[in-house]
Each structure stands twice: as structure tokens, then as C-alpha cells.
Amino acid sequence: VERMKEMAVGLSKKVKKIVKDDPRRVAHCFKVGLALTIVSIFYYVTPLYEGLGVSTMWAVLTVVVVMEYTVGGTLSKGLNRAFATLLAGSLGVGAHQIAVLCGDKGEPILLGLFVFTIAAGATFSRFIPEIKARYDYGVTIFILTFSLVAVSSYRVEELIQMAHQRVSTIAIGVATCLGTTVFVFPVWAGEDLHKQVANNLDKLATFLEGLEAECFGEKARCENLESKSFFQVYKSVLNSKPSEDSLFNFAKWEPGHGQFGFRHPWKQYQKLGALSRQCASAMDTLSSYITTFPKSQATATDVELRLQIRAACAEMSSESAKALRELSSAIRTMTAPASANRHVAASLEAAANLRSALSEDVALSEIVHLAMISSLLAELVLRTAGIAGS
């Protein structure tokens, strides 16, 4: 009983978290229920049922498999399903007409041959990355419909009527799904992508701001960083690729809505996402360097150079953070960033100044360069040791 209670508490916590993370999820559940209830009316109302007969079940089936969380997802699956069904249905009827010419014995053999060839060919096309990304579901439905029509043509008498009924029920199903996703609390994949990319830039900025305050400020101690919240924030950016890719694929299917035109440059978001991840991976190395290697004690030697480096670090992180914040708010408001370039230029200049200051002393700069490479390698060695130790 105790364990059951524990599990129930754990589950209810999980449920609360899911709802809190994105309250639109609850609306989505009701939308699925609503769409299913709407199509089932075709069963309950006798005049409607008599028009479509048993085929009505295809409408229910379509709603269940086509309904997705975002408008783009539903649209992509719905259109894929509708077009694949039409195409494969016509091909299937054609195959039947050819097979009939071969007589009673030849028909099943020829039909089997058609199904085998089309299924194998279509399955192969799913390995092509472009088709996999956008039309994977359509190809499945194509194989499915072609096989069903071609094979059952051997038994069904009124093939054309059956095909007609099936296409109309699938159209009803797709229309119901689209109606509910677009008109009842729509969740646009494009909007989510837009927000996610801007949020990721903000996360990167938060890390840099935290770093400046904790490590390069006047009284900064650079200690206990791992317990600070800003120090983990970039990590979620590192793994953002899968969700961004799927939102991108769905966004391309969506019609214009709100601030987003029909030919909104979604590709740009993908580029920005990739660059953000590169940034986050550099942060990963920086932060693990800072935490693994102990801070050297402050000594009296070369106070000036030390202060100079610190100031440059502070400048670089704060200006970069400002530029990132500016960019993220520019994305959010869809305006040109006013002063991001100025901040970037300032941080680049700080970096260049520091480099030239360090390289004044030729011997020192060379040692620093080599030491830098060796430290990065040492970091790699530690990670390799982690692999060996696992």
C-alpha cells in the first residue's frame, strides 16, 4: 500500500509538471476528444450513416492518426494522407484493370507482383533523406492504400464506389482535424520555433552575465559555480536540435498566421539554432575548464597584466551578453537589432586588444598559446578517462 501511495504521488507530481510546462497540452487533449466526438456523429445520425456505410470507420481512423499537437504537424499528416490515398487509390484501380485482362488464374499472380514491386520501391524511397523528412507518412499511406485497393479488388465487386466512399471519409476526417487544430486554441509550430530560438539566445546571455558577475567582477570569487543556476542553463541548448528540426519541418507546412507570412524564412531559424549550439558547446568547454582546474592564487607579480586580462574578460562577456539579449529581443519583436553590432564590435575589440597586449611579450605569448592547446588537450584527456572509467 505504501509503495502504491508513493507511486501515485510521483505520478501526480509528473502530471502537474507536464501541465505547468505547457498548459496548451490540456487543450490539446480536449481537442482530440472533440474531433473524435464530431466524426462519430456520422455513425449516430442515420441519414449520414446510410450515405457512407461501413467506410465511416475510415473517418475515425483518420482523426486518430492525423491529429497532432501543432497545426503544421496536423496539416502535414493530413495532406500527406489525402494525396497519398488519392494517388495510390487511382494506381490501385489501374492495376486491377490490367490484372483483370489476364484471366482468373493470372489475376492474383499479377496483383501480387504489382503489390510486391510497388511496396519494395516505395519502401526504398523512404531511405532518401528529403522524402523521409517531409513525406514519410505519405509513403506509408501510399503503400497501405495501394495494397488494400489492389488486393481487395480481387474480391470486391463495386470497386469504384468503395474507392469513392473511402476518399470522402478520409476527407471528412482530415477536415475535422484541421478545423479543430486551426480554430480551437491553435498551436503553431512556427511560433514555437520562433520562441524557442529566441529563448535559447537568452539562455546563452544568462550564462555570460552570470560568468561576468561571478568571475570577472571586482569582488568576484569564481567559487561554487556548479551550484549556481546560470551555470547549467546553456546545457538545454546543446540538446535542442531534435525538437528544433521537427518544429522546422512542421512550420514549413503552415499557412501564414499572425506575424508570420506564408514564406517566412524558417531556414534562418535553423541556421541560428546551429550557431547557438556551437556557442553552447564552447561554453561547455569553458565551464568545465573553470571547474576542473583550481584557481591559481593571486600573487604580487605582474598585477597590471592580470588586471588587464580580467577587465578584458569582463568586457568580452558583458558585451557579448548584451549583443545576445539584443538579438533575442529583436527576434521576438521582429525588428532589426538596434545596437547588437555595436556590442559585438566592442567585444571583438576587447578580444583583439587583449591578444595584442599578450603578444607584446613574444616569448610569453608563445608559451600561452602552447599552454592553451595543452590545457584543452588535458581537458580531452580527462573526458577520455571518463569514457575508460565508465
Applying the rule CB under 8 A, the residues between 182 and 211 that interact with a copy of itself are 201, 204, 208
* Torsion angles phi and psi, residue 228, rounded to 5: -80, 145
Residues in 9-48 at the binding interface with a copy of itself, rule: CB under 8 A: 14-15, 18, 25-26, 28-30, 32-34, 36-37, 40, 43-44
Q: Which is nearer to a copy of itself, 109 or 259 (CB)?
A: 109
- Of 94, 241, 259, 338, the one binding a copy of itself (CB under 8 A) is 241
Q: What is the rounded CA–CA span in Å between residue 278 and residue 285?
A: 11
- Tell me, letter by letter, the H, E, C secondary structure of the chain: CHHHHHHHHHHHHHHHHHHHHCCHHHHHHHHHHHHHHHHHHHHHCHHHHHHHHHHHHHHHHHHHHHCCCCHHHHHHHHHHHHHHHHHHHHHHHHHHHHHHCCHHHHHHHHHHHHHHHHHHHHHHHCCCHHHHHHHHHHHHHHHHHHHHHHHHCCCCCCHHHHHHHHHHHHHHHHHHHHHHHHHCCCCCHHHHHHHHHHHHHHHHHHHHHHHHHHHHCCCCCCCCHHHCHHHHCCHHHHCCHHHHHHHHHHHCCCCCECCECCCCCHHHHHHHHHHHHHHHHHHHHHHHHHHHCCCCCCCCCCHHHHHHHHHHHHHHHHHHHHHHHHHHHHHHHCCCCCCHHHHHHHHHHHHHHHHHHHHHCHHHHHHHHHHHHHHHHHHHHHHHHHHHHC
Q: Which is nearer to a copy of itself, 14 or 221 (CB)?
A: 14
- Establish if 293 lies at the interface with a copy of itself (CB under 8 A): yes
Q: Which is nearer to a copy of itself, 1 or 160 (CB)?
A: 160
- Of 51, 106, 121, 255, the one binding a copy of itself (CB under 8 A) is 121
Q: Least distance (Å) from a copy of itself to the CB of residue 305?
A: 6
- Establish if 378 lies at the interface with a copy of itself (CB under 8 A): yes
- Of 8, 271, 291, 334, the one binding a copy of itself (CB under 8 A) is 271
Q: Least distance (Å) from a copy of itself to the CB of residue 332?
A: 15
Range in contact with a copy of itself (rule: CB under 8 A) among 74-82, 136-144, 169-177, 185-193: 136-144
- Establish if 283 lies at the interface with a copy of itself (CB under 8 A): yes
Binding footprint of a copy of itself, residue count (CB under 8 A): 132
Q: Least distance (Å) from a copy of itself to the CB of residue 230?
A: 15
- Establish if 289 lies at the interface with a copy of itself (CB under 8 A): yes
Residues in 294-323 at the binding interface with a copy of itself, rule: CB under 8 A: 295-299, 301-302, 305-306, 309-310, 312-313, 316-317, 319-320, 323
Task: Report whether 149 contacts 89 (CB < 8 A).
Answer: yes
Range in contact with a copy of itself (rule: CB under 8 A) among 70-78, 181-189, 248-256, 339-347: 339-347
Q: Which is nearer to a copy of itself, 191 or 319 (CB)?
A: 319
Q: Which is nearer to a copy of itself, 4 or 336 (CB)?
A: 336
Q: Least distance (Å) from a copy of itself to the CB of residue 263?
A: 19
- Of 12, 236, 259, 285, the one binding a copy of itself (CB under 8 A) is 285
Residues in 81-110 at the binding interface with a copy of itself, rule: CB under 8 A: 108
